[in-house]
Structure 1
Amino acid sequence: MASPENILLYLPEKEEQQVREVFAGLEEQGFPVQNQKPHITITFSPSMPDDVVQRASELLPPVMPARFARVGTVVFGTKRKQTVAWLLETSEELEEVARNISALNPNGRGQRWVPHLTMGLRLPREIVPDYIRALDEVTSPHFKEFTATTAAYWRPKIHHLTVFKA
């Protein structure tokens, strides 16, 4: 499957580096390399409709920067490959904005939005319990909050990032 187009939130460099250090700690323990740039997805689509991008460019900048709290670990996927992520909570204002953007996306999940930061992408199902244990071990207990500072539209097929400015 080709990578979908995404409306994303990115962390500041210092926090992104902290996430990458967690990835490195997991890799040192023999787990699969995680190359993705740390991000929080608002919505995605094989090809993002222009009106969704336009609305996101209007709605997201006023709610940036946005604070997130790490409130748990979740596993996405029911098949052989699964994704491990940190479950996040944020302001009601950003949640409403994200649900509005998601609802506009015909390939989206309606008004549903589960804020999360992917920590293990497409992992073989059988290693997920050990991965979660290792994730807890290599993550500082003090690393509980994040600030999304940038909202953007990412088109991986053409490697093009459009940052939304206020």
Structure 2
Amino acid sequence: MGAGKTTVGQRLAARLGTGFRDTDADVEAAEGRSVQEIFVDDGEQRFRELERAAVAAALREHDGVLALGGGAPVDPATQELMAGHTVVLLRVDLAHAAERVGLGVSRPMLLGNVRGRMKQLIDERTPLYERLARHVVDTTGRDAEAVVDAVHALLEGGRRG
């Protein structure tokens, strides 16, 4: 959350001359409502089911750059789907994530104490993300183009990150 998955993903796809796809956008298109509405109306479990199906479809149908929602890799079935694919973790510290996301936005996983919940999610998910990722790029203090440069270098076999 706030790491720049969509912005970096779109720019990376353009640089690579390939397509970009975002599984949150896929879920919203299929359901005709926002992620937040799905969480509120149907609950997180239903959203995760829809998200898992969207990831499976995207991995089957799309061979470009794919952005997954921040909670997608938490699901063990989604982790299995990700196996064998090149996964890049865009890491961001709490201060920059809060600055990018804002503390007043309506994100379903941030209900309540926004900054505290962001810290909790970062602390809980980071070890899992690191285990799943082939590459890790720190986005803290970097603009989108610098992050794209770093990801591109890693994918091309460079050592920058």
TM-score category (smaller protein): under 0.3
Higher-RCO chain (CA-CA 8 Å, sequence separation at least 6): 1
TM-score (norm 1): 0.26
